[in-house]
Every structure is written in structure tokens, then in C-alpha cells.
Amino acid sequence: MDLKAYFKRVNMADPGPPSLSALRELHRHHVFSVPAENLDIHSGEKIILETSWIYEKIVVRNRGGLCYESNGLFLWVLEELGYKPKVLSARVRNKICGLYGPKFDHMVMVVELEGRKWLCDVGFGEGIIYPIPLEDGWEEEQENGVFRLRVERETWYLERKDGDLWRSLFKFTLEECMFEDFKEMCEYHQTSPSSIFFCKSLCSLQFLGGRLTYMGHRLITTEFIRGGGCVKTTRDLAEDEIPDLLRDRFGIVLKKKLIPKDEDIIPPN
């Protein structure tokens, strides 16, 4: 595995020794270059949580991945560059039923720099572009929306502003985990009808001021509004359009035929 190849993949030069400015640039370039996608699940491939396998997929084959894959690769990059990231387990809030997923539902990281702890997450489709400081009540407008952190007892919540309201994206604690701890939930997301990744074929990539998302037989363009909120436009896709769309808009060419899927998610018990 080669850091130079990773830098080329995310369209940036070597950022140099650990610093907050370097971490911000790494985070931003990764988010704008590596899609959040689950296309393996819907094209007969298996997702494997091994760093060398993830590197081959994302860096060599120009793919994206689930949060475990994208954040797993970012974890390796940070460690190689001399940062000391800590892996944390997060639980994503289900938009349909309002419930949070189980432990190890989502992977995030914390990096300590310049006397503060910074939340890093390059694997959440509508998440942050830059690391944000782990401070209760911290509110920040980034290029793709307004975010805040709040804490209740020992549980932290990352929230996103939608108009005048705040919507919780996920919650987490500061209990440190290992990358290997997420293998069981990675299998769950590949097989469970309660997981969006099993129920819907999707690929989403941030761009400056918005996000482009393929889902099932739809292409969704999201444009963000300053101060919170967004405007979405949707275009229906014929099945034979999808491979060219993935290649031209996301840079993805699959090894096997994709079976588009957009089924309702069954709420967990």
C-alpha cells in the first residue's frame, strides 16, 4: 500500500507532518473524491473489512465504499502519517422510524491536535466535510450545511440543520474501539432488510455546495442553502443508463452487473 497512490486518488499533494490544517485538507479531499456507496452488495461482490482489500478497492480500482471502508482507509492514512486516531462506534438515526441503529452501526474517529479533540468522519453521505471540535454546543457552517455537536451525559450527538430544525444524524460515545469490532455489523448491512444498504443500491458524492446521489433508478441532485436546508431535484433513470452514469459522474466501473434496487426498509424490532 502506497501513500503516494492514495494522495493521487484524492487529488492532493503530500500534506506534510501532522497539523490541523493538514488534517482538514486530508478530510476535505477524501470526502470530495471517494463516494459513499454500496454497489458491491448489488453486483454480487462481498465487502471485506481488511485494510489491504479496502486499499485495493478504493485506491487502485477507484471505488468508494461503506463507512467502514472509507473510514477504515482514512484510519490507515492517518496512522501512516503519524496521527493517533481513536476509533469510535456510532449509531445512525433511522429517518423512517426515528430509532438509532445498534452498536458498531457506523464508524467515526477522534484525533487530538492543538489541545483539542476533533471528530473525523469521511464515510457518511450527508456528513461533515471538515473535522469539527468535540465541544458541547459547537455549531459550524461548512460547505454542505450547518452542523452542531451536543452531549447528554456521556452520549454525543451530531446534528444537521434543516431549515429551522435540527436533525440528529448519529450518536456516539468516546469509548475506544478496534477496526475489527465492526465486522459483524458490516455483514448485517449486507444482508438485513432493516439496513438501507441492503434495500437500496446507492452511490453518493459531495461536490462544492451540494451532493449527487444515485439510488435505484433515480439520480438525485442536492443543492445546499446557506444557513441550513437544501433543494433536491430527481431524475428517473432507465436501467441501461446506470453503468454510464456511474462511470461518467462517479468514476466507477463495476466488475459485475449491477441489479438496481430501491425497496422499503423494514424497521427493526
Please provide residue 105's backbone torsions phi and psi, each rounded to the nearest 5 degrees. -65, -35
Neighbour-count burial of 239, counting CB atoms closer than 10 A to its CB (0-12 exposed, 13-18 middle, 19+ buried): exposed
Instruction: Please give the Cα distance from 232 to 138 (Å, whole number).
Output: 27
Q: Which of 30, 40, 105, 121 is catalytic?
A: 121
Instruction: Please give the Cα distance from 71 to 235 (Å, whole number).
Output: 30
Residues in Cβ contact with 55 at an 8 Å cutoff, skipping those fewer than 6 apart? 1, 6, 73, 76
Answer yes or no: 186 catalytic: no
According to DSSP, the residues that pair with 87 across neighbouring strands are 109, 177
Answer yes or no: 121 catalytic: yes
Answer yes or no: 2 catalytic: no
Q: Which of 27, 30, 42, 67 is catalytic?
A: 67
Closest CA to 45 of 211, 256, 221, 195: 256
Instruction: Please give the Cα distance from 127 to 142 (Å, whole number).
Output: 10
Q: Which of 106, 120, 177, 199 is catalytic?
A: 106
**Positions marked active-site:** 67, 106, 121
